[in-house]
Amino acid sequence: MTAVALLNWRSPEHYDHTGDQPCVICTKPTPLRSDRGKPVHEVCAEDWIDRHPPKEDNA
């Protein structure tokens, strides 16, 4: 069984009232913004995180 990333975007900072912009992953319009201010759907971000797990440091 694999872990699935679940993000909590209830904070109002994740919603941009100025209007929709294309999601950086699927290109469909979204009013949502990532922690870095990029337009992205929550489900797109969760899927991206699942597909790009952090790499472990082998030092």
Q: Domains in the chain: how many in total?
A: 1
One-letter identity of residue 11: S
pLDDT value for 11: 86
Domain enclosing residue 33, as ranges: 20-51
Task: For 1-59, write each residue's pLDDT tens digit.
Answer: 456 667 888 888 899 999 999 999 999 999 999 989 999 999 999 999 899 888 776 55
Look up the pTM and report it.
0.77
The residue with tokens 């209007």 is 19
Helical H runs in the chain?
A: 42-51
pLDDT value for 1: 46
pLDDT value for 6: 75
Residue 27 falls within a domain, yes or no?
A: yes
